Structure 1
Amino acid sequence: MSNGTTSINIGDIVATIVMLGFIVAVIIFIVSIYKTYKKNVRHVEERLHVEKQQTFNLQKQVDELNDRIGKIEKLLKEVD
């Protein structure tokens, strides 16, 4: 076999395939973690937006109730 031809070693091929498989598995794992992180960030931002809207609505209701109470107190002072 010293005439310039190269022999193929099956063990080297298997080792290369295993290493490439491991590298691909790690890359897939990292990508899935990144996608999950982005999805969670988007979900948290949506929830924050909903909570801000709810807070705004509640503050609006509190302001309306304060106006009503002010009118009632004014009316009661006029009655006295």
Structure 2
Amino acid sequence: MATAARTAKTRTNRARSNCEVDSLDALAAQAPAEAIELPLAALRRTIERDGWSFVGGRLLEFEGNHNDTLIYARLASR
């Protein structure tokens, strides 16, 4: 049992190390409100509806296709 708990903790720590922020509010602060409002609202609905927890995330600039921004969100089941 201790090994399984250690493995889960290691996975969570590794997931967090790939993320710049650990809350949706901090993620929202990284972009202009009008650009991030709708995508984050959809993400919040998905998290609440399906029982996920937000572990971390970041915004990645996506060059090329109309300068879209990619939202990277790490979620964990509750």
The answer, yes or no, to whether TM exceeds 0.5 is no
Q: TM-score normalised to the size of structure 1?
A: 0.27
Q: Which of structures 1 and 2 has the bigger CA Rg?
A: 1
| Larger RCO, structure (CA 8 Å, separation 6 or more) | 2
TM-score using structure 2 length: 0.27
